[in-house]
C-alpha cells in the first residue's frame, strides 16, 4: 500500500515537472528553485551530436561565489588578494560592466582560497550579496551603486563561521532572508530588501556554511532551513516557526534542504547519509516521517539534483544515481571525477575540480557521457550555472562561457576530439 502511494505521488511529481514553462532564469545559488536544476527545456532536442565549445574565458580572481544572472548581466564575487569585489560582466562577450569594491579581502584558511564564498541573488532591480566578513548589502545591478548595507557581525553580533560567512541569501516578496547565526534569537533573519531594515528574527542555531531555501510545502510557502541538529520550517513572511524536526547525528555543515514535491524534503546528514522526509500537515500539527535513508551516500558537500525520478549525487568521489522512490542505487561511476553538478533538460553538467566540463545524459541505466572540454588549468570549486542555453563556470582565477552546439557547427577541435561516445567507469 505504501509503495503504491509513493509510486502515485512520484507519477504526479514527474508530470508536473514535465509541463512547466521554459523559464530562462538562474538568479541565485543553485538555480531558480535552489535545487540544482535549470528550468530551461528543449536544449538538446534539435542537436544530433552535441559538443561543448568555449566562447570566452576571462581573468577573474579567487573565491568560491557562484554566478547569477539578470538580462545580459552575469554577477559574481571575487578577490585580487587585496580587496574583495562584486563584478558584473556582459554575458555574451565577458567584458566588465561594473565592479564594486566590498572591502579588504577575506584570507583563506589552510588550503582554502582568498575571497567571497556566498553567491549573490538578483531581482529585477538589485543584487543582494553577503561578504565573508558578514556584511549584507544591496547594489543596483545595472550600475553597481550601493543601496544599503548591514554588518551582521559588528552591528548585530552574528557569530562568524570558522571559514567566513558563506550562506547565500534568498528572496521572498519584499524580504531578503539570510542565515545570520545571531546569538539572541537570530539564526535566521529577514530584512526589507529596499532599506535593509530588520523585519524579523527567528530561532537559535549556528549558520555554518548552510543556506536556506523557499518553496511550496503542502500548498503553503515555507522556509526550510538546516541547523546543526534540527531541521526548521519557518513562515517566510513572519518568521514564525511552523515546526522543528530533530536529525539523529546532525546535518552536514553545508546542508540545504531540497523541496522535491509538495511534501517531500531531501536532506544531507552527518551520520544517516541522504534522507528523504515526508511532511503531512493539518491545521493543528505536522506529521513528519522518514521515507528512506541511504547511509552509503556520504562525504559529499554537493547538492543532489533530481531528474525523471532519479537523484544524481556524489558519494565521496563517485558519481551516483539513486531511485527517488526507494533509494536503490542504479549505478556508481568513477568518471567524470570529483566535481560539482547541475541538471539541465534531462542532462547533467559537471565541472570537475580539475577544471573540465562534462556533459552527460541523465540516464538511470548508466553514466553516459556526450562531450567534455578542458576549460581551466587550476582547481575549480564552484557549481556551474546555466543561462539562456549556455554554461557558465569559474575556478580560482577565471570565468568562462561554454556553448552547447551541434558537432557539425562546432569550431572547437578540442571538443570534437574529446567527445565521449562510450560509457566510462561504470560500477554496479
Residue 148, judged by CB atoms within 10 A of its CB (0-12, 13-18, 19+), counts as middle
Q: What DSSP letter does each residue of 383-395 carry, written as one string? A: --EEETTEEEEE-
pLDDT on residue 284: 62
- Spell out the domains of the chain, with CATH numbers in brackets: 21-67+303-428 (2.40.128.630)
Q: Which string of b and e fits 213-237 if b means at least 16 CB within 10 Å?
A: bbbebeeeebbbbbbbebbbbbbbe
- DSSP assigned state of 218: T
Q: Where are the alpha helices (H) located in 134-207, listed in sequence order?
A: 152-156
Q: Is the dihedral of CA 342, 344, 346, 348 positive or negative?
A: negative
pLDDT of residue 184: 87
Specify whether the CB–CB gap between 22 and 32 falls below 8 A.
no
Nearest 10 degrees: CA dihedral of 319, 74, 139, 114?
Answer: 50
| pLDDT attached to residue 410 | 74
| Confidence (pLDDT) at 22 | 52
pLDDT at 181: 96
Name residues of the chain where pLDDT drops below 70.
1-23, 282-285, 412-428
pTM value? 0.91
DSSP assignment string, 95-137: -EEEEEEEEEPPPP-TTPPSS--S--EE-SSEEEEE-TTSEEE
- Cell numbers for 41: 527545456
Q: What is the pLDDT of residue 427?
A: 39
pLDDT for 297 equals 92
Amino acid at each position: 500500500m505504501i509503495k503504491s502511494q509513493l509510486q502515485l505521488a512520484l507519477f504526479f511529481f514527474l508530470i508536473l515537472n514535465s509541463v512547466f514553462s521554459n523559464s530562462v532564469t538562474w538568479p541565485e545559488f543553485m538555480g531558480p528553485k535552489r535545487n540544482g536544476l535549470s528550468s530551461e527545456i528543449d536544449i538538446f532536442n534539435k542537436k544530433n551530436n552535441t559538443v561543448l565549445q568555449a566562447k570566452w574565458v576571462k581573468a577573474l580572481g579567487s573565491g568560491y561565489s557562484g554566478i547569477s544572472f539578470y538580462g545580459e548581466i552575469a554577477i559574481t564575487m571575487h578577490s585580487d588578494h587585496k580587496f574583495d569585489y562584486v563584478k558584473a560582466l556582459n554575458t555574451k562577450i565577458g567584458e566588465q560592466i561594473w565592479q564594486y569594491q566590498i572591502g579588504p579581502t577575506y584570507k583563506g584558511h589552510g588550503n582554502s582560497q582568498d575571497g567571497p564564498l556566498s553567491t549573490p541573488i538578483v531581482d529585477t532591480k538589485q543584487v543582494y550579496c553577503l561578504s565573508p566578513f558578514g556584511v549584507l548589502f544591496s547594489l543596483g545591478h545595472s550600475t553597481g551603486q550601493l543601496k544599503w548595507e548591514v554588518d551582521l557581525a559588528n552591528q548585530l553580533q552574528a557569530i562568524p563561521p570558522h571559514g567566513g560567512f558563506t550562506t547565500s541569501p534568498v528572496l521572498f516578496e519584499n524580504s531578503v532572508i539570510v542565515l545570520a547565526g545571531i546569538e539572541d534569537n537570530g539564526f535566521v533573519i529577514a530584512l526589507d530588501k529596499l532599506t535593509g531594515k530588520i523585519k524579523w528574527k527567528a530561532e537559535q542555531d549556528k549558520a555554518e556554511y548552510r543556506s536556506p531555501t523557499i518553496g511550496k510545502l503542502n500548498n503553503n510557502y515555507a522556509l526550510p532551513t538546516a541547523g546543526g541538529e534540527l531541521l526548521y520550517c519557518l513562515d517566510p513572511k513572519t518568521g514564525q516557526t511552523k515546526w522543528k524536526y530533530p536529525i539523529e547525528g546532525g546535518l552536514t555543515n553545508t546542508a540545504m534542504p531540497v523541496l522535491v514535491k509538495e511534501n517531500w524534503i531531501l536532506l544531507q546528514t552527518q551520520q544517516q547519509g541522504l534522507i528523504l522526509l515526508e511532511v503531512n500537515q493539518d491545521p493543528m500539527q505536522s506529521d513528519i516521517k522518514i521515507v528512506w535513508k541511504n547511509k552509503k551516500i556520504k562525504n559529499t558537500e554537493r547538492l543532489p539534483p533530481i531528474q525523471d525520478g532519479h537523484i544524481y549525487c556524489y558519494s565521496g568521489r563517485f558519481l551516483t544515481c539513486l531511485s527517488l522512490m526507494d533509494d536503490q542505487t542504479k549505478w556508481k561511476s568513477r568518471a567524470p571525477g570529483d566535481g560539482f553538478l547541475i541538471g539541465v533538460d534531462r542532462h547533467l553538467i559537471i565541472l570537475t575540480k580539475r577544471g573540465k566540463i562534462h556533459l552527460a545524459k541523465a540516464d538511470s541505466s548508466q553514466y553516459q557521457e556526450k562531450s567534455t572540454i578542458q576549460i581551466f588549468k587550476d582547481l575549480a570549486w564552484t557549481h556551474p550555472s546555466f543561462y539562456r542555453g549556455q554554461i557558465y563556470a569559474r575556478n580560482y582565477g577565471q570565468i568562462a562561457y561554454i556553448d552547447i552546439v551541434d558537432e557539425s557547427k562546432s569550431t572547437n577541435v578540442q571538443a570534437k576530439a574529446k567527445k565521449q561516445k562510450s560509457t566510462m567507469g561504470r560500477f554496479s
